[in-house]
Amino acid sequence: MDNRKKWASPGSPIFTGTRKVENLKISLISYDKQDFSFSEIESVEDLPGRIVESRVNWINITGLHDTERIEAVGKLFGIHPLVIEDVLNINHSPKCESYNDYIFVITKMIDLNRDRSMNIEQVSFVLARNYVISFQEDEGDVFNVIRERLKNNDSRVRNSGADYLLYRLLDAIVDNYYMVVESIEDKIGAYDNMFLPGHRRGSLRPVYQVRKELMKLRRAVFPLKETIHVLEKERGNFVSHNTYLFLRDLSDHLRYIIDSVESHRDMITVMIEMSMSAESRKLNEIIKVLTVISTIFIPLTFIVGVYGMNFNPGTSKWNLPELNWVYGYPAVWLIMLAVAGGLIIYFKKKKWF
């Protein structure tokens, strides 16, 4: 939180993200069963005049950094300053709050970057009787499908109200989560193969990376479940019975994603434990080799060292008489073979081979 935010009084419109697009852009799609119109709005003040009361209006605003104009939009539609503050503060958790005339929903849109890392964008919605306003800094192409379908006047969305439009926008966001979950699934699958026997094991770093991504995903998805639940409770109020059935279905999708996140988290824990157990087995293996070779050859080296001593047999009959024995050298070999053999039998009995 920068200092502007900190010293501001509550309800002050301050953008806490980083600017990603050039300018604030407002697009308006206005439709009913028969008609469909799309327009780019230049000036915020023009907006109210363009709204068609009898139709469903979708006002899509990108460029949250332009806080003044966002605030102006808020005032035009009678939106509480705290809502505008939350729209601009991109560090919010997903939530759904109902006010007298509208419902406010915060969600997190997740895209995959080219390197398959996650890119999280906050998208907020205001749903009123005949319009939906969507706010975000950078749009992405998630909503393009819906725009296409809106042009088709046979589609269900053209025959339904603003609540169904909001559902479709939420559904588009949740559908993207599937893609993210699948990308994580792929990564986990790739690392899981590393544990097959005969594969060389790499660092656990990428596994922990996936775990961090799951933590981020979880943080976006978990509160969204609750958010949809709050929205479902608006049945009969802002949400029609038909849309309610679709929201219930969306809840199911979210539950599936949450289950996947949980299950992948468990999977990663298992993988890390497996890897640590494999490391530990390998260490034992290595040290066993070291011990076997060392404990066999170190005593032998001592024995040959003894007969390498230069005590003068000429001085005293006590000095290394073995050196002059007829079978001295073969005897030493016999002793050494006995020592080595004994140790090998000992290790065999201990099942070190």
- Map tokens 């989560």 to a residue: 177
Smallest distance from a second copy to CB 51, Å: 25
Query: What's the CA gap between 71 and 5, in Å, rounded?
Result: 15
Rounded Cα distance, 70 and 86, in Å:
12
The correct pick among 7, 54, 113, 349 for binding a second copy (CB under 8 A) is 7
Instruction: Note whether 101 binds a second copy by CB under 8 A.
Output: no
Q: Which of 35, 46, 101, 252 binds a second copy (CB under 8 A)?
A: 252
Taking the CB of residue 67, how many other CB atoms lie within 10 A of it?
18
Q: Does 33 bind a second copy (CB under 8 A)?
A: no
Identity of the residue, 34 or 100, whose beta carbon is nearer to a second copy in the bound complex:
100
User: What does DSSP say about strands 56-62 and 36-41: parallel, antiparallel, or unpaired?
Assistant: unpaired
Q: Which is nearer to a second copy, 119 or 316 (CB)?
A: 316
Among 76, 151, 195, 348, binds a second copy (CB under 8 A): 195
C-alpha dihedral sign at 89, 220, 212, 113: negative
> Residues with Cβ < 8 Å from 161, sequence gap 6 or more?
56, 130, 240, 243
Q: Which is nearer to a second copy, 18 or 324 (CB)?
A: 324
Least distance from C-beta 73 to a second copy, angstroms?
20
Within 130-189, the residues that bind a second copy by CB under 8 A are 145, 149, 155-157, 167-168, 171, 175, 178-179, 182
Smallest distance, a second copy to C-beta of residue 58, A: 16
Spell out, one character per residue from 261 to 300, where the chain touches a second copy: x when CB under 8 A holds, - when not: --x--xx--x-xxxxxxxxxxxxxxxxxxxx-xxx-xxxx
| Comparison of 45 and 266: residue with beta carbon closer to a second copy | 266
How far does CA 343 lie from the centroid of its chain? 53
Encoded amino acid at 327, one letter:
Y
Q: Map the footprint of a second copy across residues 212-231, applying CB under 8 A.
A: 212, 215, 219
Shortest distance (Å) from residue 25 CB to a second copy: 24
Smallest gap from Cβ 41 to a second copy, in A, equals 27
Of 60, 49, 48, 58, whose CA–CA distance to 21 is shortest?
A: 60
235 binds a second copy (CB under 8 A): no
User: In angstroms, what is the minimal distance from the CB of 40 to a second copy?
Assistant: 25
Torsion, Cα 86 91 94 98, to 10 degrees, reads -10
Shortest distance, CB of residue 47 to a second copy, whole angstroms?
A: 25
The yes or no reply on residue 335 touching a second copy (CB under 8 A) is: no
Residue closer to a second copy, measured from CB, 38 or 327: 327
Q: Please list the alpha-helical segments (H only) found in the chain.
A: 3-7, 47-50, 67-76, 81-88, 144-151, 162-193, 205-232, 241-306, 328-349
Smallest gap, in angstroms, from Cβ of residue 284 to a second copy?
5
Yes or no: say if 108 and 94 are a contact pair by the CB < 8 Å rule.
yes
Beta strands 131-136 and 36-41 are unpaired
Q: Is 11 in the site for a second copy (CB under 8 A)?
A: yes
- Comparing CA positions, the residue from 67, 271, 54 lying closest to residue 162 is 54
Site for a second copy in 50-89 (CB under 8 A): 80, 82, 85-86
End-to-end CA distance of the chain: 61
| Stretch near a second copy under the rule CB under 8 A, chosen from 18-26, 29-37, 71-79, 329-337 | 329-337
CB of 128 to a second copy, least distance (A): 18
Cα→Cα distances 119→31, 140, 281, Å: 32, 11, 39
Q: Which of 122, 156, 176 has the alpha carbon at shortest distance from 246?
A: 156
- Can residue 319 be called a binding residue for a second copy (CB under 8 A)? yes
